[in-house]
Structure formats: C-alpha cells, structure tokens
Amino acid sequence: MDYKNHLLHYLILFLIILGGLFGAWYFSFNRLARFGVVSLSVLGYVVWGVGHHLLEKRLSWGVVLEYILLGFVILAAFSLTLRF
C-alpha cells in the first residue's frame, strides 16, 4: 500500500478519535449520551482497524480480537469514570 493510502487511513482514524473526543466534550452534561458517543467511537475504531488490516491483507483472528479487546478496555475504563 502506498504512502497516500496510509495517510488517508490514518486521517480517517484521527477523525474518528477527534469526533469521539469532541462528542464526549459536547455531551458532558449527559452521561448516557456521552457514553453513546464514546461507544460509537470505539466501534468506529474497531471497524477501522479490521478494515485497515483487511485492505493490507494482514487480517487474522488475532488482530480482530486485539481491536475488540482494546475497545472493550477503553469502554470499561470510560464507564468507570462516569460514576453511574
């Protein structure tokens, strides 16, 4: 994969993360909405990671599991900070 494709892929990832951070800030008054925004961002991260590795022909079950587990850890850490 060439340089421009990599740049585009990581720009998309950056926008997913930036959108999640902005959404968490914007909905700081509503815990449920903030959790929803972060959940969607984590889902976007997992889909991005699987798609990125699929396009690079390096996708394996280990990679999928890694992205899912990291997303779960992020959601768990975030939900512990919400103090439901």
pLDDT at 83: 65
SS (H, E, C) the chain: CCHHHHHHHHHHHHHHHHHHHHHHHHCCCCHHHHHHHHHHHHHHHHHHHHHHHHHCCCCCHHHHHHHHHHHHHHHHHHHHHHCC
Query: What range does the domain containing 54 cover?
Result: 3-82
Look at the block and give the residue holding tokens 């892929």. Answer: 9
pLDDT at 5: 84
pLDDT at 44: 98
- Using one digit for the tens of pLDDT, what is the confidence trace for 16-75? 999 999 999 999 999 999 999 999 999 999 999 999 999 999 999 999 999 999 999 999
The count of domains in the chain is 1
> pTM of the entire structure?
0.90
